[in-house]
Structure formats: C-alpha cells, structure tokens
Amino acid sequence: MTFDVTRAGPPEDDTTQSPARSVEAAAARHMVRAESDARPVDDDPPEAQPEETSGNPDDGPMPGIVQNPRIVQTIDLRQNRTATLATGLVALTVCTVIGGLWFGHFAQTETVRGTVAATGGFARLDAPRAGVITRIFLNQGDPVKAGQAVYALRIGSASSGGESAVEAEMRNLQLSRKGLQDEVERADAFIARATKQQAQIAADQEVFYAGLAEQAQRHAAATEKSRAVVRRIAAYMRDGYATRDMLESHERGTFDLERQLSDLRLKRLEVQRQDSERRREFDLLVATKVSQKASAQNQIESTDSRLAMLRTETAVEVQAQSAGAVLALAAKVGDSVKPGQFVAATGEPNAAPLVVVEAPARAVGLTKVGQRVIIKYDAFPFKTFGIQHGTITYISTAAVRGLAGEDKPDIGLDPRPVERQSAYRIEIRPDRPDVDAYGERIPVKIGSTLSADIVVERRRLLDWVLDPIRALRGR
C-alpha cells in the first residue's frame, strides 16, 4: 500500500513543531517499505507540483510564484516474506519433532557372537584342559561313531628341561612306588623266613619236650622203684635183717631221684616259658611287618590312583559323543590349546543349520522366544552380501557359563576375546540355510562363526527423552 502525506505552510524548525507535526515530519522523512501480494506498489513517489494562483492578492499568491509548497512523501507498507517462511519452517520443524517423539521408536540392540550348529547330532569337542594336540585320528568329513576318539591331547606345558610338571610328578611317584613295592617284598620275605624258622623251632621244641618227658618218666619210675626198696629195707630193719645205714643210703638215693625229677619238671616249665616269650616276640614282630606291609600296600594303591589320574591328565583322548561325521577341525598336531578352546565338531552333515549364541545376562532380560534377530555371517560380509534374519527358538533358563576368574574361552573359531560374565544359551533358527552370493545360493557351513544383533529393548523416543525427568521425580 502507498500513502501520500502532505504538509502545507513554511517549514518549521523541528524543535518548535507540535507533537502531531513531529510525527508527520518523521513519517515524511522515513519510508517504510513492505511487499504486498495484492497489488503492485510504485517505486518512485510523485513529484510535488507547484500550485498557480490568480492575480488577485486576496485570492492567494501571485501567478508563477510557489508559496508554502506541500511536502509529499510515500510510505510503503510491505510484508517480510523471509520472516513468514522462517516462521513456517520453525512451526513445521516443531511439529515434525513432536510427531517423531510421539510416534518414533528407539531400539537398543546387543551384538553377540555365536556359531552355526546343526539341528541334530551337532557336538563341539572343546579342549578339556590346556595342552598340546599330539594326534588327530580323523580328517574333516570322515564318518565317526559314538565313543570313537577324534584327537589326543597332552596336558601340561613343558618346563625348561623339556619335562612338564605332571611328568616330573609321575616320575617321582613311580620311584616312590618302586621303593614301597621293595618294602612290601622285604616284609613278605621276612614273614616267610620267620614263619619257617618258627616252624623249625616248634619242631625242635617238640623233640626237646619229648626227650624231657621221656627223661622225667624214667626218673619217676626210678624214684618209685627206689621208694619201694626203701619201704622193704625199713621192714627188714624192723625185723632186724637190715641196718639203719642201709636204709639211710637208699633214702638218700630216693631223694636224689626225686630232686632230679623236680629239676626236669622245672626245666620243662622254664623252657615252656621261654618258648612262650619267644612266640610272643615273634608274633609281635610278624604283626609289625604285616602292618608295615599293609601301610606300604595302601601307599602303593594311593600312588597308583594318583598315577592313573595323572595319566588321564597327561594324555586325554577326546571322543565323539554321537555318530555322524567330523564337521570341523580347528587345530592340527602340535598346536597349543587353552581350556574350552574349540578344536573339533561332529554332527550330521545334512542337518538344517541352527545358530547357537551365548548371550550375556544383560541381553536376555527382555528377549523372548519368537523374536526376530539380525544375523551377520563372518564368511559372508554383510556389506557385500547383505544381512540375514532368524527367529529365536530357545532361551536357557539358567546360565550356561557363570562368573569366573580363569582365562576367557573363545567362542567357536573366533579369536576375539569375549567379555567374561554369566552367559545364557540362545538358539536361533535362520530363515534360510544358504546365502545369495554372486548369483548362487551357497549353503552356510556348520561351525562357521557369526554375529547376531538382538533387540533387547524397544521404546518410544518420547519415553526415552522423558526418562531423566521421571528419574528425577522418582528421587
């Protein structure tokens, strides 16, 4: 729009003008331009034309003379199109942000590592202990029976002398066992020799006791005969046919025989006492040797048990758990392995693939069976061959691996370390058993490693933004 502002009369000093004239003068001095979409506006204001008057002085100024010219200015009032567009853009941005926060969702994912197993018969043959692979009995692809040995493992690391600590202990135990066995043999020999001597002594004692008995019997008979002679002599002496000296002489003879018989009996008793003492000492000595032998035998049994355990610890043959085929061999003869390291895998070669992962505890809180998962095979980089999808079919209710301080086991063939924490087994069934690669469908190999992205939480963006405020209010 264009407005003409006209002022008549001589110009006055700005300092003496009234407030109305000051406003008019200010409007005349400044031009406000605004674009209007309704009608165009002239860019140049019309020039002020002098007014002509008649020659009568009463009628006004003289002709040709311009007096009190009118000041004409143009005020252009135009709308600022830039401001309008900026306002509309800001309003649109605000609406978009509010709509995005309200209708948008935020998904938090957890990336876990895993391997491709088989739906039937698949079994990992991990190293039970740290050691060195000494022998591999089968090749990849060979058929295997349940209980058949797949590889042999020598447990323990060699010392500077070329002998492991386990082997040194076994050598010491074998030397100790040999000493114990020698002690048992010496005890057996002593017991046998002592028993034989005791039997010989017993036989000699029998002969000795028989001689004493025979001698005592003769002395008893002689004593009885001497007593009979003394009785007859005493009768003869009463009748006057014998003297007292004769009687006393025979009595002394009878007394000597009785004394000799008593000595024989005492000797027999003394020999029997000595024999009993000897037998008691012999029995005690034999019992001591038997006890030593039993102790040595117990130590031998303990040593044998320890040796058997060390042999199993020194050399272990890992066997297949089920029949099928050797699907993977991740080591060769001479390789050092850690506890739990993947060495081989057996299973049915034609079984459908099944992804098995060990997810940390923070990834299974809100995870459910039937949830969709993004799969990225290491053998087929997703930037080239795209991502694959699968469905969770199983989640273990208890941790398959708890917290521990030992070395971190690797997962499958992946050498990258895994965060050590409690883990749960999750089974994922892929949508496809193969991958499109350069116009071909290539099957996924059993035992290959992969990464799986599991959505552990899905929320609205508005809730995510308001969480800090709610947390503060909750305090």
H or E segment at 365? none
Q: Rounded to two decimals, what is the model's pTM?
A: 0.43
Going by pLDDT thresholds of 50, 70 and 90, the confidence category of residue 429 is very high
Residue from 420, 426, 422, 449 nearest 342 by CA:
449
What's the rounded Cα separation, in Å, for the pair 274 and 277? 5
Query: What pLDDT is attached to residue 55?
Result: 45
Going by pLDDT thresholds of 50, 70 and 90, the confidence category of residue 391 is very high
Mean pLDDT of 99-114: 76
Query: What pLDDT is attached to residue 306?
Result: 85
Query: What pLDDT is attached to residue 393?
Result: 93
Q: Which of 201-205, 236-240, 329-333, 455-459 has the lowest mean pLDDT?
A: 455-459
Question: Considering the chain, what percentage of its residues have pLDDT values greater than 70?
Answer: 72
Non-local (6+) Cβ contacts of 314 within 8 A are: 154, 155, 156, 164, 166, 167, 170
What's the rounded Cα separation, in Å, for the pair 165 and 171? 10
Whether 186 shows a pLDDT value over 70: the answer reads: yes
Q: Which of 166-170, 177-181, 422-426 has the lowest mean pLDDT?
A: 166-170
Q: Which of 3-12, 191-200, 398-407, 458-467 has the lowest mean pLDDT?
A: 3-12
Task: Collapse the DSSP code of 308 into the 3-class scheme (helix H, G, I; strand E, B; otherwise coil) and give the result.
Answer: helix
Whether 388 shows a pLDDT value over 90: the answer reads: yes
The pLDDT tens digits of the residues spanning 286-341 come to: 889 889 889 989 999 998 888 887 776 677 888 888 888 888 888 888 888 888 88
Which pair of structure tokens corresponds to residue 414? 């992946």
Going by pLDDT thresholds of 50, 70 and 90, the confidence category of residue 201 is confident
Give how far Cα 299 sits from Cα of 46, 90, 168, 314, 365, Å.
130, 91, 19, 22, 54
**Cβ burial, residue 82 (10 Å; 0-12/13-18/19+):** exposed
H or E segment at 63? none
Which pair of structure tokens corresponds to residue 368? 């459910």
The pLDDT tens digits of the residues spanning 37-88 come to: 444 444 444 444 444 444 444 444 444 444 455 555 565 556 677 888 888 8
Going by pLDDT thresholds of 50, 70 and 90, the confidence category of residue 473 is confident
Mean pLDDT of 384-394: 92
Which pair of structure tokens corresponds to residue 172? 């010491």
What is the average pLDDT score of the chain?
76
Mean pLDDT of 217-221: 84
Taking the CA atoms of 175, 178, 182 and 183 in sequence, report the sign of the dihedral they define. Answer: positive
Going by pLDDT thresholds of 50, 70 and 90, the confidence category of residue 266 is confident
Q: Radius of gyration of the chain from Cα atoms?
A: 62
Polymer length in residues for the chain = 475
Going by pLDDT thresholds of 50, 70 and 90, the confidence category of residue 239 is confident
Query: What pLDDT is attached to residue 150?
Result: 92
Going by pLDDT thresholds of 50, 70 and 90, the confidence category of residue 35 is very low
Mean pLDDT of 257-277: 85
